[in-house]
Amino acid sequence: MAKSASEFVKEAKQQIQNLTPAEVSEELSTGDVVLIDIRESEELKQNGKIANSIHASRGMLEFYADPALPYHKPEFEKTKRIILHCASGGRSALAALTLQQMGYENVAHLDGGIKAWKDAGLPTE
């Protein structure tokens, strides 16, 4: 039976670490984490971004995360703590699961995305 996008997201969230905006903010304050924004460029322009986040669109994630490819971004390092976020948490949940499947062991996502971040009164730029 075919699965819906919502079912994929629900399954992913059961297999990954889901963080609240407060938890992400606390981790960011340590400076020992990479926050990756996987939204599309247009979304960043329209809705702002979380300070010091690295942009890596969801469509290129696997290519940025694979050190064997020319598209690899140095921010994707398997030894680093990586937190992903999108607009509302669906794409970042799927992306966190994908990174885990690629061997990233210290990955999480911002549940609720930048929307939850803003709703919690946290700053964007």
The number of distinct structural domains making up the chain is 1
Question: Which two structure tokens, joined as six digits, stand for 34?
Answer: 């990479």
The mean pLDDT of 114-122, rounded to a whole number, is 97
Domain boundaries, position 45: 16-119
Tally of residues, the chain:
125
- Tokens 């329209």 locate to 46
Strand partners of residue 102:
none
pLDDT-derived band at 95 (thresholds 50, 70, 90) equals: very high
Average pLDDT over residues 109-118: 98
Q: Give the CATH number for residue 48.
A: 3.40.250.10
Q: Quick check: helix, strand or coil at residue 8?
A: helix
pLDDT at 122: 96
Summarised one tens digit per residue, pLDDT across range 9-54 is 999 999 999 999 999 999 999 988 999 999 999 999 999 999 999 9
pLDDT of residue 74: 94
Axis crossing angle, helix 90-101 with helix 5-13, rounded to the nearest 10: 60
- Asked, for residue 79, whether it belongs to a domain, the answer is yes
